[in-house]
């Protein structure tokens, strides 16, 4: 039995199939951990959703910002942003409701053994166990009957920092924004959402979230498994496995076998995929 953590797919289903062949993935024996952003901008979001859902217990996926965006569009909480969206096949599918119901019941954060899987990152004030508890607050709302109303309140950049006394919409928004959108934050934990570039592009006064001094999830035991930051690329160190290697942008789709940290990649592009 092997467990593979896989970077952002964003509807690049053909690349995912190539990657799983490269890994010799067997759903009867192995497990897949997806770091979120299953959908959008790539050409096969519908096929990706159906495939991951049908894997059942062989797969775990956490929610990414594009997955939440799909749910928000479906709930009419936000309008579709523009021509780079590729969500219509999902929204028009005969099994649309079943797929959306499955998606909204997926976790925002997955904790197992030494690993904590989250799409973007954790604020410096949060331990991995605290993050899991906070994620559960959002997951309860998304899985409930009032999920559409909940999503009406979720969009926005403020507040940009965590405080324990936060409640309601403000509390949920910080949790979601940190776990699905964050790249840079200040030493005090204030998030900055405009910058999407490389580490050297950090705005003045901000750091990559994982380099903030005193980060509580840097405890010598926890390994964070993330995606979201394609400009960062594949970025591996003892406490962090960042797996978004930019498949959507012509880079690679990455799987990392957790058992021995072996990396598997396929190159992505219009011509198909090439095993590395």
Contact 273, 245 (CB under 8 A): no
Q: And the tokens for 183?
A: 């790249």
- Measured from the Cβ of residue 148, the count of other Cβ atoms closer than 10 Å reads 14
- Tens digit of each residue's pLDDT (9 = 90 or more) over 193-249: 999 999 999 999 999 999 999 999 999 999 999 999 999 999 999 999 999 999 999
Write down the pLDDT at residue 43. Answer: 94
How would you write 207-230 as a 3-class SS string? EEHHHCCCCCCCCCCCEEEECCCC
Start-to-end C-alpha separation, the chain: 22
Residue 53: strand, helix, or coil: helix
Write down the pLDDT at residue 271. Answer: 46
Range of the domain at 213: 3-275
- Tens digit of each residue's pLDDT (9 = 90 or more) over 180-195: 999 999 999 999 999 9
If phi > 0 it is left, if psi is from -120 to 50 it is alpha, else beta; for residue 133 that is: alpha
Task: Please give the backbone phi and psi of residue 229, each rounded to the nearest 5 degrees, phi first.
Answer: -105, 85
Write down the pLDDT at residue 274. Answer: 53
Measured CA to CA, the distance from residue 235 to residue 245 in angstroms comes to: 9
Measured CA to CA, the distance from residue 60 to residue 35 in angstroms comes to: 9
pLDDT(273) > 70: no
Report the sign of the C-alpha dihedral through residues 56, 61, 65, 66, in that order.
Answer: negative
pLDDT(275) > 90: no
E strands, 81-130, are: 109-112, 115-118
Helix (H) / strand (E) containing 255? strand 252-257
Contact 195, 184 (CB under 8 A): yes
Report the sign of the C-alpha dihedral through residues 193, 195, 200, 204, in that order.
Answer: negative
pLDDT(73) > 50: yes
Measured CA to CA, the distance from residue 20 to residue 196 in angstroms comes to: 29
Instruction: Give ∠ CA 49-53-58 in degrees, rounded to 5.
Output: 130
CATH number, domain containing residue 263: 3.60.21.10
Residue 247 to residues 18, 25, 218, 255: CA-CA distances in angstroms?
A: 12, 19, 28, 12
- Tens digit of each residue's pLDDT (9 = 90 or more) over 6-18: 999 999 999 999 9
Q: And the tokens for 155?
A: 């969009």
Q: How many domains does the chain have?
A: 1
Position 84 confidence tier, pLDDT thresholds 50, 70, 90: confident
Measured CA to CA, the distance from residue 223 to residue 141 in angstroms comes to: 27
Measured CA to CA, the distance from residue 121 to residue 181 in angstroms comes to: 8
Predicted TM-score (pTM) of this structure: 0.96
Residue 159: strand, helix, or coil: coil
């Amino acid at each position: 039995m092997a467990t593979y953590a896989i970077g952002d797919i964003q509807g690049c289903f053909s690349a995912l199939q190539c990657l799983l062949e490269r890994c010799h993935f067997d759903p009867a024996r192995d497990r897949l951990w997806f770091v979120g952003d299953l959908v959008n901008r790539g050409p096969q979001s519908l096929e990706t959703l159906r495939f991951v859902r049908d894997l059942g217990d062989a797969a775990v996926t956490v929610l990414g910002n594009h997955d939440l965006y799909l749910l928000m569009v479906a709930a009419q909480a936000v309008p579709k942003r523009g021509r780079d969206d590729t969500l219509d096949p999902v929204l028009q599918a005969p099994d649309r409701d079943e797929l959306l119901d499955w998606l909204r019941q997926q976790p925002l954060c997955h904790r197992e053994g030494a690993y904590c899987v989250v799409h973007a990152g954790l604020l410096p004030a949060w331990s991995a166990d605290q993050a899991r508890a906070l994620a559960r607050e959002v997951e309860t709302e998304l899985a409930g009957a009032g999920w559409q109303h909940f999503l009406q309140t979720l969009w926005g950049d403020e507040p940009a920092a965590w405080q324990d006394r936060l409640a309601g919409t403000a509390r949920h928004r910080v949790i979601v924004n940190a776990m699905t959108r964050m790249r840079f934050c200040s030493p005090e934990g204030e998030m900055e959402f405009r910058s999407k570039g490389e580490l050297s592009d950090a705005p003045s006064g901000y750091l990559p979230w994982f380099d903030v001094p005193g980060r509580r999830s840097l405890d010598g035991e926890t390994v964070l498994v993330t995606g979201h930051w394609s400009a960062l690329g594949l970025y591996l160190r003892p406490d962090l496995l960042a797996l978004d290697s930019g498949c959507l942008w012509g880079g690679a789709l990455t799987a990392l076998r957790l058992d021995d940290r072996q990396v598997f990649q396929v190159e992505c592009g219009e011509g198909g995929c090439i095993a590395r």
